[in-house]
Structure 1
Amino acid sequence: MHKRILILPLFALALTGCVGGLGGGDYERSETRRAYEVKMGVVESVRSVNLEGTQSGVGMATGAVVGGVVGSEVGEGKGKTLATVIGAVAGGIAGAAAEKGVTKKPGLEITVRLDSGRTLAVVQEDTGERFNVGDRVRVLESGGQTRVTH
């Protein structure tokens, strides 16, 4: 029984690790066969930012189950019931915080001066693609989403 309790959080963390990328070269399947407006420009500045972690509910649910199971091992009668509830609530809060922390990612804010004279700041995941001031880049826009690539 205790081995199952330890496996549940690991399974939840593995699921949250499957969240898709947000970099300039990352596309969701639903973005295929979509036309993108391509604008050219020059990078004016680049700064590192943090992308907040996800809160899909998997961490909270897993934490609540684990906390409830652990809490149910404490006490008897009404005390056992109370410990189960407290364990589930505390586990849910801890699980949500763990999911958010584990899925937090580094990002970039890339400011681009477009050939049209407009200036855009685009935030995307830092996937290792390097952007330097003065680089000539492409800005792709479609359906409210924007990305910067070389």
Structure 2
Amino acid sequence: MDWIQRNGRALLLALVALIGVSGCAGSLTGDTYSRGEARRAMVVKFGTVQSVRLVKLEGTKSPVGTIAGGAIGGIAGSSIGRGKGAAVGAVLGAVAGGLAGSAVEEGVTRSQGVEVTVRMDDGRYMAVVQEDAGEGFRAGERVRIVQDGGTMRVTR
């Protein structure tokens, strides 16, 4: 019985959890609302885009990537040696796998964003950072700022 047959089920479960991480991050675009935002009154203000610049939105850093990577690394490490060697390999594999899983999760969920600076109709300036969904905002364009508490988004 080889290593994959002995550890296949646990390896598959950990891999599915790690891949699932990419679907866990919520969208931060201007046209995506969370379920909790539905049917809420929001303040709408108007202004003119002054500038737009590309920014990077860091990925999520939840325990899922670390745990899944640790499980995969621990399983892989335990196949090295016998007795104490297998135990040491499992520990080292779990630590290395946890670090790698965390890095993979952050990289997979990282996204492109935009910082839109708007001159509001009352003369104030506001900058809103959101995920770049290809809206293509341009300087001089009229836009809406939709505000729900501390959350804001730029839309047309």
Aligning the two structures, in what range does the TM-score lie when normalised by the shorter sequence? over 0.9
Deviation at 1:33, TM superposition (A): 1.8
Deviation at 1:43, TM superposition (A): 0.1
Q: Which amino acid aligns with 2:146?
A: L
After superposition, the C-alpha distances for 1:66-91 in whole angstroms (9 at most, x for unaligned) are 00000110111222111100100100
Which residue in 2 is equivalent to 1:58? 64
Which residue in 1 is equivalent to 2:92? 86
Equivalent pair of 1:13/1:102 in contact (CA under 8 Å):
no
After superposition, the C-alpha distances for 1:74-129 in whole angstroms (9 at most, x for unaligned) are 11122211110010010000000000001000000000000011100100000111
CA distance in 2, matches of 1:80, 1:106: 42
Equivalent pair of 1:43/1:137 in contact (CA under 8 Å):
yes
Which residue in 1 is equivalent to 2:117? 111
5+ residue gaps, structure 1:
none
Equivalent pair of 2:21/2:105 in contact (CA under 8 Å):
no
Which residue in 2 is equivalent to 1:46? 52
CA distance in 1, matches of 2:142, 2:41: 22
Deviation at 1:15, TM superposition (A): 3.4
CA distance in 2, matches of 1:15, 1:110: 28
CA distance in 2, matches of 1:110, 1:50: 13
Q: Which amino acid aligns with 2:76?
A: V
Query: Identity, % of aligned pairs?
Result: 51
CA distance in 1, matches of 2:133, 2:106: 19
Deviation at 1:6, TM superposition (A): 5.3
Deviation at 1:28, TM superposition (A): 0.5
Equivalent pair of 2:21/2:65 in contact (CA under 8 Å):
no
Q: Which amino acid aligns with 2:63?
A: G
Structure 1 outlier segments of 4+, above 6 Å: none
How many residues were matched structurally?
150
CA distance in 2, matches of 1:143, 1:76: 58
SS of residue in 2 equivalent to 1:147:
strand
Q: Which amino acid aligns with 2:68?
A: T
CA distance in 2, matches of 1:8, 1:64: 9
Alpha-carbon RMSD:
1.4
Q: Return the match for 2:146 from 128, 140, 148.
A: 140
CA distance in 2, matches of 1:10, 1:58: 11
